[in-house]
Amino acid sequence: MTLKKNKEELRVRSIKNGSVIDHITAGNALNVLKILDIIGTTKAIVSVAMNVTSKRLPYGRKDIVKIEDRELIPAEVDKIALIAPQATINIIRDYEVVQKKSVVLPNVITHVVRCPNLNCISNSAEPVFSKFKVLDSLALRCSYCETIIDTDIAAYLI
Amino acid sequence: MFKKKHVISMQDLTREDVEFILDRAERMMPYAKSGVRLLQNRILALLFFEPSTRTQLSFDSAMKRLGGSTLNLTSEESSVLKGETLADTIKVVEEYADAIVLRHPREGAARMASEISRIPIINGGDGAGHHPTQTLLDLYTIKKESHLDNLDIALLGDLKYGRTAHSLVYALDMFGANIALVAPEGLQMPKHIIDSLNSVRLAEDVDDVIRDVDVLYVTRIQKERFPDQNEYLRVAKSYRLTLSVLDEVRENLIIMHPLPRVDEIAPEVDGTKYARYFKQAFYGIPVRMALLAILMNNAI
């Protein structure tokens, strides 16, 4: 038992400074990185844990993302709620959690998700970013053509 | 009082806004043929990036009846052919005109234009999206030729893709109408719209509903929606409105159609007391006059 516990701790141990995004819906860790614009050439130290045991999330699995030396700001983290509504963000300074918050869906998201309607003006050569109103049901409605995305939002991430 | 700067989608308008416009349209009726100098020296730009004879002519006529003038730009003009963005076109035209009517093949084009433009934008149709002035003239026709309160209405035809049908049911729902939607299989109104309506029933056959309605609104069934042309011909035939379908209808039934029609309504129906589609087209003038006057000259 002790050995098992130690192994768990190793897997999810605290970082010195940075942000820990916990309780990500299992399977969405890479989408979270995409939303945060963390790509393969990033210089930051990023740890990703997928399908970690969770008592809180459906199917008992969650993903975790840890980004060292970067404190996420609300505008960045709230976008995560689109694909992981139960995610929590811990801001770490000197191994201590100095701030813990849940993600809150913004009312409007701009340039995060592309409109599935190929004939939408936001998918044209016009100088315009995609813009969606977030509906109560966690669906998105395009502010231009009013197309609704109510399933698999991750598939439309820019 | 109407406080909106642009008219892009019926969803932007409240019932009070719609009633205000219909009321002002009624005031414009005496001048719809004789004219009135309300917008003298004002210029309306008609930017039509896809053809629409009726809407373009109707706005042109409405502006001229108000004593104003129009600029016409079509997608064959040089700047568009040279690849100028719509955003740039709007920024240039707003220096030349006092309001813009925009028809564009892409959905959301008018909304984008309204975010850029200093002068009022009226959506004259954006792809398969909205066409609010069509809906306003439809409502005005219903108010004039039938009644808007406690209305029983059936919409017939391609309700899946037809933008006029989507905007119209949304507006009718604001007035508490009982709406029957009659469409061939696969062309029924999208579920999210049906779910938003308060009083709605679905049918596949016009015979099931025609005796119970005050208004029958017929829309075009578009050939290009059918992969199989034989299937199109079968459906188009079964949705054709003929004299025999009009047995036992309500005495005061009116039949509407946004036009142009193809085969949906047999010509012999034109001569019946029910037909209102040409009058409906005429009502586009007072409604558009009202809208132009409201947006460009709040004094009316």
Which member of B87, B107, B128 has the closest CB to residue A144? Answer: B107
Overall number of domains in chain A: 2
Report CA B95 to chain centroid distance, whole Å. Answer: 28
Any CB–CB contact under 8 A between A136 and chain B?
Answer: no
| Residues A60, A88 share a domain | yes
The more confident residue out of B111 and A74 is B111
**In Å, what is the CA distance from B17 to each residue of B92, B144, B178, B284?**
30, 18, 21, 17
| Residues A123, A83 share a domain | no
Any CB–CB contact under 8 A between A119 and chain B?
Answer: yes
Chain B residues touching residue A126 (CB < 8 angstroms): 85-87, 112
| Residues A19, A76 share a domain | yes
Q: What is the pLDDT of residues B264-281, one digit of tens each?
A: 999 999 999 999 999 999
- Identify whether the C-beta of residue A32 lies closer than 8 Å to the C-beta of residue A65: yes
Which member of B87, B126, B127 has the closest CB to residue A126? Answer: B87
Burial of B100 (0-12, 13-18, 19+ CB in 10 A): buried
- Identify whether the C-beta of residue B25 lies closer than 8 Å to the C-beta of residue B66: no
Is ipTM beyond 0.90? no
Is A10's pLDDT higher than 60? Answer: no
Task: Tell how strand A96-102 and strand A46-53 pair up.
Answer: unpaired
Shortest distance, CA B245 to any CA of chain A (angstroms): 36
| Residues A50, A118 share a domain | no
Share the mean pLDDT of chain B: 92
Backbone angles phi, psi at B180, to 5 degrees: -110, 135
What domain range includes position A140?
Answer: 108-156
Bridge partners (DSSP) listed for residue A22? A88
Is A7's pLDDT higher than 70? Answer: no
Chain B residues touching residue A119 (CB < 8 angstroms): 105-107, 127-128
Chain A residues touching residue B106 (CB < 8 angstroms): 119-121, 124, 145
Chain B residues touching residue A120 (CB < 8 angstroms): 106-108
Percent of residues, chain B, with pLDDT higher than 70 = 98
Share the mean pLDDT of chain A: 87
Alpha helices in chain A, H assignment, sequence order: 2-12, 29-35, 74-78
Q: Using CA atoms in the order A97, A102, A108, A111, what is the torsion angle rounded to 10 degrees?
A: 50
Q: What integer pLDDT is reported at residue B56 of this predicted model?
A: 95
Asked which of A76, A102, A128 is the last residue of a domain, the reply is A102
| Residues A116, A98 share a domain | no
Q: What is the pLDDT of residues B131-152, one digit of tens each?
A: 999 999 999 999 999 999 999 9
| Residues A63, A26 share a domain | yes
Which domain CATH number covers A126? 2.30.30.20
Backbone angles phi, psi at B289, to 5 degrees: -60, -45
Q: What integer pLDDT is reported at residue B53 of this predicted model?
A: 83
Q: What integer pLDDT is reported at residue A22 of this predicted model?
A: 92
Q: What integer pLDDT is reported at residue B232 of this predicted model?
A: 85
Q: Which two tokens stand for residue A104?
A: 């809150």
> What residue in B sits closest to A150 (Cα-Cα)?
B192
- Identify whether the C-beta of residue A28 lies closer than 8 Å to the C-beta of residue A83: yes
| Residues A97, A114 share a domain | no
| Residues A112, A96 share a domain | no
Q: What integer pLDDT is reported at residue B80 of this predicted model?
A: 73
Percent of residues, chain B, with pLDDT higher than 90 = 74
Chain B residues touching residue A144 (CB < 8 angstroms): 107-109, 111-112
Rg over CA atoms, chain B: 19
**Which residues have CB under 8 Å from A104's CB, separation 6+?**
A74, A78, A81
Return the beta strands (E) in chain A as ranges.
18-25, 46-53, 61-68, 88-93, 96-102, 108-110, 131-134, 140-142, 148-149
Q: Which residues of B are catalytic?
A: 54-55, 82, 103, 131
Which member of B86, B107, B192 has the closest CB to residue A120? Answer: B107
Q: What is the largest CA-CA distance in chain B?
A: 58
Q: What integer pLDDT is reported at residue A87 of this predicted model?
A: 92
Percent of residues, chain A, with pLDDT higher than 70 = 92
Asked which of A86, A102, A118 is the last residue of a domain, the reply is A102
Mean pLDDT of B249-272: 94
Which member of A119, A125, A143 has the closest CB to residue B111? Answer: A143
Question: How many beta-carbon pairs below 8 A join chains A and B?
Answer: 52
Which domain CATH number covers A89? 3.30.70.140
Q: What is the pLDDT of residues A65-121, one digit of tens each?
A: 999 999 998 778 888 888 888 899 999 999 999 999 888 888 999 998 999 999 999
Chain B residues touching residue A148 (CB < 8 angstroms): 192
Asked which of A87, A102, A117 is the last residue of a domain, the reply is A102
Q: What is the pLDDT of residues B191-227, one digit of tens each?
A: 888 998 999 999 989 999 999 999 999 998 877 777 7
Return the closest-CA partner of residue A66 out of A49, A86, A84, A50.
A49
**Which residues have CB under 8 Å from A111's CB, separation 6+?**
A129, A130, A131, A158
Q: What is the pLDDT of residues A13-51, one digit of tens each?
A: 679 999 999 999 999 999 999 888 888 788 889 999 999
Q: What integer pLDDT is reported at residue B250 of this predicted model?
A: 96
Confidence of residue B284 (pLDDT cuts 50, 70, 90): very high
Q: Are A126 and B112 an interchain contact pair (Cβ–Cβ within 8 Å)?
A: yes
> What residue in B sits closest to A148 (Cα-Cα)?
B192
> What residue in B sits closest to A119 (Cα-Cα)?
B106
- Rounded to whole angstroms, the Cα distance separating A35 from A123 reads 19
Q: Are B112 and A148 an interchain contact pair (Cβ–Cβ within 8 Å)?
A: no
Which member of B86, B105, B127 has the closest CB to residue A126? Answer: B86
Is B251's pLDDT higher than 70? Answer: yes
| Residues A42, A89 share a domain | yes
Question: Among B111, B191, B193, B196, which would you mutate to test the A interface (most chain A Cβ atoms within 10 Å of its Cβ)?
Answer: B111
Q: Using CA atoms in the order A74, A78, A80, A84, what is the torsion angle rounded to 10 degrees?
A: 120
Map out the domains of chain B with their CATH numbers: 10-130+284-296 (3.40.50.1370), 133-281 (3.40.50.1370)
> Please, how many CA atoms are within 13 Å of residue B132, restricted to the half-sphere of its CB?
22
Q: What is the pLDDT of residues B10-62, one digit of tens each?
A: 999 999 999 999 999 999 999 999 999 999 999 999 999 988 888 999 999 99
Q: What integer pLDDT is reported at residue A1 of this predicted model?
A: 46
| Residues A61, A33 share a domain | yes
Q: Are B108 and A127 an interchain contact pair (Cβ–Cβ within 8 Å)?
A: no
| Residues A146, A91 share a domain | no
| Residues A116, A86 share a domain | no
